[in-house]
Amino acid sequence: MIEQSASFTQRLRAIVGDDGLLTDPQQLRLYMYDGSIERALPLAVVLPRTPEQVAALVRLCHAEGVFLTPRGAGTGLSGGSIPLCGGVVLSLARMKAILSVDTENQMATVEPGLVNLDLTRHVSPKGFQYVPDPSSQGACTIGGNVAENSGGPHTLTGGVTTNHVLELQLVLADGTQVSVGSQAPDPPGPDLVGVVCGSEGTIAIVTRIVCRIVRKAECVRTMLAAFDSCRAASEAVSAVIASGIVPTAMEMMDHPALSAIEAFSHAGYPVDAGAVLLLELEALREEVEDAAPRVVEICRAGGASEVRVARNEEEREALWKGRKKAFGAMGRIGPSYYVQDGVIPRTRLPEVLDRVEEAARKVGLRVANVFHAGDGNLHPLILFDDHDPDQAKRAIAAGEEILRACVEAGGSITGEHGVGMEKRDYMGLQFSEATLAAFTAFRDACDPGHTLNPYKLLPSGLGCAEGGKRQKTLTQMQALAERNAAIGEAY
């Protein structure tokens, strides 16, 4: 066994070189985590530098039946890049080049490990931007964004990652390299770009991305409106939409969140408010000048005690600073937080926010809300002490209750953070057995052995229509997991 595993690591090393392979337990420990509350230790971490190396690694793991988990920056919030069943973590962190920028055709070609914000920084002097802007954009990678189909505050009008990806170079589960989508519109064949986006590393590894970049708007106006309650702020959101104005961003922060954020980033937020809305309009001057006063008026009519409009770029950045660092600020009010990501039709915001509050109260925990109100995408942050197993359990119970509330309101259990390992067993709340069977059939068609990021995205257990078949897959996977564990004994 040991002999075999030694040869396995040697073969990994042969592909990525000495400095591309981590096996030291100390180093491996850094890859146990992502932004979620899940943990698991890999057997080895590889850091390839080229798509060819990625392909060779996937071929090797495929042939040996070793699990492989792709990883970007590890900022994911659903345990997506955690090597649940051991195996090899494939980090794309060293593939981070901007390969080309074509402003005439408004596209850029980048490697998957490129940090999201680095692309916008790079094209910004030319007057362009990359639209999807997760709050983690200073750290997360574009490859990770594709895998999660990430959104951000500006996706209300701008769309999420899938709307900005034109072509992908992929390494499939058996190690073959293909390109899907195209720089020219409407490539033939089913929309594989569309299904790879949001597939959480379970059907292919993304090794190159051609994405859209767009011209920055002529005029941007950012404003903050303070309300007595989340209900009043939610109603203002609906009223703005009803007036025919769709701001590029409508973000909400509730009272507990505001106090934490203000203590952390001194953004000048009104800490006494029950809730604050951050709104942004982007368009040509006339449209913004027409819409901005109407938005102010709607907020006032909806009971806003204060509406602040940023007068310049500096003030605008100040308004955004607090929001962008909101999750980090939670440390001010609790040792740890468990964030949910359910999404609901936006008209249901008031009632579902009440249920969120209720869910936390029921288990004796506090909750803060910082979220994409325009999209109806909630981010309740359930505050708990991660050293207290009972609190952790209660946080998870409240989380489940919140997801139920979202589904019952006609929504979905995740809007942008992904299912990962964290929400896979809640899939049944939202989807029928037939639908789950279709998901499984699709996964089986792409990765029959489930070697790519196993046990993610699909329900882990039985009970769906495909019970028999899943059980077989599970048994196979358990056998593989044992094998992975055996290989791990070498370390």
Partner 1 sequence: MLADAYAPLREIPDLDVIDGSQAGVFRIGEQRARLAVRPRTHAAAAAALRACAAAGLHVVPYGGGTAQTLGHPPFRIDVVLALDLLRGIHAYDPHDLTLSVEAGTTLAELAQTLARAGQHLPLDGAQPARATVGGLLATGHAGWRAGTYGRPRDLLIGLRTALTDGSQALSGGMVVKNVTGYDLGKLHAGALGTLGVILRANFKVMPLAPARRFVAAALPEGTRASVLTRIDTLILRPSAALVLRGWEGELPWKSGDEGSIAVMLEGAAGEIDRATRDLRSALGAAGIPGASIFDQARADDALAQLNDLWGSEIGGRSAAYCLRDDTTRLISWAAMLERIAVTEQMAVDFAADLLDGRLLVRLAAPTGHALRSSLPSCEEFIRKEAPGARLLHAPEWARREFPVWGGEPSAIARMREIKRAFDPAGTLNAGRYVGKI
Per CB under 8 A, does 347 bind partner 1?
yes
Q: Which does 376 bind (CB under 5 to 8 A by kind): ligand FAD, partner 1, none?
A: partner 1
Tokens of 23: 């096996």
CA atoms of 453 and 105, how far apart (whole Å): 35
**Please, which of residues 389-418 interact with partner 1 by CB under 8 A?**
410-418
CA atoms of 78 and 418, how far apart (whole Å): 6
| Phi, psi angles (nearest 5°) of residue 199 | -90, 0
Query: Given the rule CB under 8 A, which of 153-161, 225-233, 250-258, 313-321 is the region that contacts partner 1?
Result: 153-161
Query: Given the rule CB under 8 A, which of 223-231, 286-294, 332-340, 358-366 is the region that contacts partner 1?
Result: 286-294
**Please, which of residues 16-55 interact with partner 1 by CB under 8 A?**
none
| Phi, psi angles (nearest 5°) of residue 223 | -140, 155
CA atoms of 302 and 213, how far apart (whole Å): 36
Among 194, 268, 350, 488, binds partner 1 (CB under 8 A): 194
For the chain, the first-to-last Cα distance in angstroms comes to 12
Compare residues 121 and 362 and give the one whose CB is closer to ligand FAD.
121
CA atoms of 354 and 356, how far apart (whole Å): 5
Q: Which does 89 bind (CB under 5 to 8 A by kind): ligand FAD, partner 1, none?
A: none
Compare residues 158 and 256 and give the one whose CB is closer to partner 1.
158
> In terms of Cα–Cα distance, which of 391, 483, 452 is closest to 201?
452
CA atoms of 141 and 277, how far apart (whole Å): 28
Q: How far is the CB of 237 from partner 1 (least distance, A)?
A: 10
Chain residues binding ligand FAD by CB under 6 A are: 34-35, 69-77, 80-81, 92, 112, 134-136, 140-141, 143-145, 147-148, 150-152, 200-201, 205-206, 327, 416-417, 453
Among 355, 443, 450, 456, binds partner 1 (CB under 8 A): 443
- Based on DSSP, count helices (H) and strands (E) in the chain, helices before strands: 17, 18
Among 9, 23, 163, 460, binds partner 1 (CB under 8 A): 163
DSSP symbol at 449:
T
Q: Classify residue 280 as exposed, middle or buried by CB count within 10 Å of its CB (0-12, 13-18, 19+).
A: buried
Among 179, 229, 305, 476, binds partner 1 (CB under 8 A): 179
Q: Which does 71 bind (CB under 5 to 8 A by kind): ligand FAD, partner 1, none?
A: ligand FAD
Q: Which does 73 bind (CB under 5 to 8 A by kind): ligand FAD, partner 1, none?
A: ligand FAD
Among 151, 322, 399, 454, binds partner 1 (CB under 8 A): 151
What track of x and - describes contact with partner 1 for positions 99 through 118 (by CB under 8 A)?
-----xx-------------
Tokens of 391: 């609190």
Kindly provide the b/e burial profile for residues 148-175, where b requires at least 16 CB atoms within 10 angstroms of the residue's own CB: bbbbbbbbbebebbbebbbbbbbbbbbb
